[in-house]
A and B are shown apart, each in its own frame.
Chain A
Amino acid sequence: MKKDKKNSFNTPEGYFENFHDRLMDKINQEKIEEASDVIPKTDGFSIPEGYFEGFNEKISSKIRETERGKLVQLNPYRKLFYAAAAVAAIFLLVFTPIWKSDAAIAFEDLASAEIENYLNISELDMSSYEIAEMVSLEDIELNDVLEDDIEDENILEYLDENVEDIEELNLDYSDYE
């Protein structure tokens, strides 16, 4: 950069090199002070005495408990499951051509109907986020993964309040022609 030759003033060494850092520190400091005038520095939560000291034991025993549960319950069923799968595979190979000729309900249809029925009547321990991760977007409607249905009116109201530029939406106008 060109030096100002008419200027006889001087600055401490390295003054301009770290000016930006010092300025940002000052701005940040001011921001913190500005906020802390109004916002309390602590939020008032406390914990039972000795909570953290006893936590390790609590978590270890919970893990042991779940591991034991897994060993007792799953292993016998897993063996049965493999056996059943093997029998089902042979059964399918042998009988599929016969079924195809006259049966209206195939083995696979029956299985998915059962699964669908189970999913309908059971309370799934899954969040809508988890379901959305598993099912592809093409296969579902938005309302399938939401706990409360969204009416078109609500969507329009939301867009009206929150979208400043309609171009951002990248609407496919062919739908409206």
Chain B
Amino acid sequence: MIAEETLVKELKQEETQAKAFEVLVNTYKERLYWHIRRIVLNHDDADDVLQNTFIKVYRNIGGFKGESKLFSWMYRIATNESLTFLKQKSKKLGVSDEELKNTMLENLQSDVYFEGDEIQLKLQKAMASLPDKQKLVFTMKYFQEMKYDDISEVLETSVGGLKASYHLAVKKIEAYLKED
């Protein structure tokens, strides 16, 4: 795999930009897709947000100072884009965030790209009941198996705080799943 510093340098130079951007998309599209998908739930929405994320990355790479890892920077953009997308969606539909969450869960049951069984549907409901940050930490740790250090860079939260959030999220989800 190409070193991150080299890739950033190539992304900033006009003559190497196109090729480097292709490498960037190939390297991160799947990971970012699944991160976004777990926030917006629906495939078409995830596709829109993923495209917007890469366009933002392409336009703003000139301003990337390398203070954090490229990977964390992109994850941050993807997270913000996803949450903003949901905010705008609830605004457009004229519903509250809570109502939007319920609609998203209802739609999931008829979604052709959701093959989950009853327990997986219940898991989604349990996750929807968590505060945004706890839900993010849980999906990043449990499903994406990210390291606390990496999550800490993306969410700009201390590792200790993340561990506490994750522990709380697991407890709440377990309790929800054990309910009848």
Q: Tell whether A and B belong to one assembly.
A: yes
Residues of A at under 8 Å CB distance from B?
31, 35, 38-40, 42-48, 51-52, 55-56, 58-60, 62-63, 66, 125, 127-129, 147
With the chains together, A173 CA to B88 CA distance in Å? 39
> In the complex, which residues of chain A have a beta carbon less than 8 angstroms from the beta carbon of B114?
44-46
> In the complex, which residues of chain A have a beta carbon less than 8 angstroms from the beta carbon of B173?
38-39
Please give me the residue from chain A that is nearest to B138 by CB atom: A39
With the chains together, A60 CA to B16 CA distance in Å? 15
With the chains together, A43 CA to B30 CA distance in Å? 16
Q: Distance in Å from the Cβ of B87 to the closest Cβ of chain A?
A: 6
Q: Distance in Å from the Cβ of A151 to the closest Cβ of chain B?
A: 15
Q: Distance in Å from the Cβ of B62 to the closest Cβ of chain A?
A: 14
Tally of A-B Cβ pairs under 8 angstroms: 81
Contacts A/B (CB < 8 Å), 6 sampled: A39-B173, A45-B34, A46-B115, A56-B22, A56-B29, A63-B55
* Chain A at the B interface: SS class: helix
> In the complex, which residues of chain A have a beta carbon less than 8 angstroms from the beta carbon of B75?
none
> In the complex, which residues of chain B have a beta carbon less than 8 angstroms from the beta carbon of A59?
25, 51, 54-55
Q: Does B91 interact with chain A (Cβ within 8 Å)?
A: yes
Please give me the residue from chain B that is nearest to A37 by CB atom: B174
Cross-chain contact A52 with B30 (CB below 8 angstroms)? yes
Cross-chain contact A63 with B58 (CB below 8 angstroms)? yes
Given the contacts A55-B29, A147-B91, A44 and B117 also touching, CB distance less than 8 Å: yes
Given the contacts A44-B116, A45-B114, A39 and B43 also touching, CB distance less than 8 Å: no
Cross-chain contact B124 with A43 (CB below 8 angstroms)? yes
Q: Does B64 interact with chain A (Cβ within 8 Å)?
A: no
* Chain B at the A interface: SS class: helix
> In the complex, which residues of chain A have a beta carbon less than 8 angstroms from the beta carbon of B119?
40
Please give me the residue from chain B that is nearest to A62 by CB atom: B51
Q: Distance in Å from the Cβ of B29 to the closest Cβ of chain A?
A: 5
Cross-chain contact A58 with B51 (CB below 8 angstroms)? yes
Q: Distance in Å from the Cβ of B162 to the closest Cβ of chain A?
A: 14
With the chains together, A116 CA to B131 CA distance in Å? 35
Cross-chain contact A40 with B120 (CB below 8 angstroms)? yes
Cross-chain contact B84 with A127 (CB below 8 angstroms)? yes
Q: Does B123 interact with chain A (Cβ within 8 Å)?
A: yes
Name 19 extra pairs, CB < 8 A, besides A38-B174, A39-B170.
Answer: A35-B170, A39-B123, A39-B174, A42-B143, A44-B121, A45-B34, A45-B41, A45-B43, A47-B113, A52-B29, A56-B22, A56-B26, A58-B51, A59-B55, A62-B55, A127-B84, A127-B87, A129-B84, A147-B87
Cross-chain contact A48 with B174 (CB below 8 angstroms)? no
With the chains together, A46 CA to B38 CA distance in Å? 11
> In the complex, which residues of chain A have a beta carbon less than 8 angstroms from the beta carbon of B143?
42-43
With the chains together, A127 CA to B89 CA distance in Å? 12
Q: Does B33 interact with chain A (Cβ within 8 Å)?
A: yes
Contact with A along B141-153 (1 / 0, CB 8 A): 0110000000000
> In the complex, which residues of chain B have a beta carbon less than 8 angstroms from the beta carbon of A128?
87
Most B CB within 10 A of own CB, among A40, A44, A56, A63: A44
With the chains together, A51 CA to B46 CA distance in Å? 12
Q: Distance in Å from the Cβ of A61 to the closest Cβ of chain B?
A: 10
Contact with A along B76-87 (1 / 0, CB 8 A): 000010011001
